[in-house]
Amino acid sequence: MSAPPPAPVREPAWSLSRSAISLWVAQGVLTTIIEALVVTALIVFVPADAGWWTTLVRWGGPAFVLVTAVVDIGVQPRLRYRVHRWEVTEEAVYTLTGWLNRTWTLVPISRIQTVDVTRGVFQQLFGLATVAVLTASSQGTVRVPHLGVDVARRVADDLARRAELVRDEAT
């Protein structure tokens, strides 16, 4: 592949928390375990002479689990970490997500309606939190996943305070 053309717009400056990688790895491990259990159950409980497709399950199942394990645990977490970027500037919140299909989202602080901080079960284990910035538009939502808890709190407080100060009509 030739050198990729330059990005159409600027890259946001900051990365997510490094713990996000651990979280994604943990999620990958969990998915792999579940898949392995399902495949094992299939192999154990389905009699070998049930039909031609049992051979497919016996050979294809483990191979599928192996491939997804490598992708989910070995490749995807690091790739995601590289891909997700975010930044809070003087005037706006800015994020980049997606690897093949990339999406940059920019929301000015003056148009922020609410700032949410949420923590899922996994996120609590790894000390992470998601910051969601909502506007009047259903499509203009910025979500920064997996920031360190203290960073997320600080960012949310800071954004809420600044939004209060510069709010014009937030619609």
Binding-site ranges for other proteins (CB under 8 A): 4-10, 87, 89, 91-92, 94, 100-108, 110-111, 113, 134-140, 142, 168-171
- Smallest distance, other proteins to C-beta of residue 3, A: 12
Q: Which two tokens stand for residue 125?
A: 């284990």
Q: Based on CB atoms, which residue is closest to other proteins, 107 or 129?
A: 107
Q: Based on CB atoms, which residue is closest to other proteins, 18 or 82?
A: 82
Q: Based on CB atoms, which residue is closest to other proteins, 8 or 47?
A: 8
The answer to whether the CB of 135 falls within 8 A of the CB of 112 is yes
In sequence order, the 6+-apart residues with CB closer than 8 A to the CB of 2 are none
d(CA 147, CA 152): 6
- Smallest distance, other proteins to C-beta of residue 22, A: 29
- Smallest distance, other proteins to C-beta of residue 100, A: 4
The answer to whether the CB of 85 falls within 8 A of the CB of 12 is yes
Q: Which two tokens stand for residue 4?
A: 């990729």
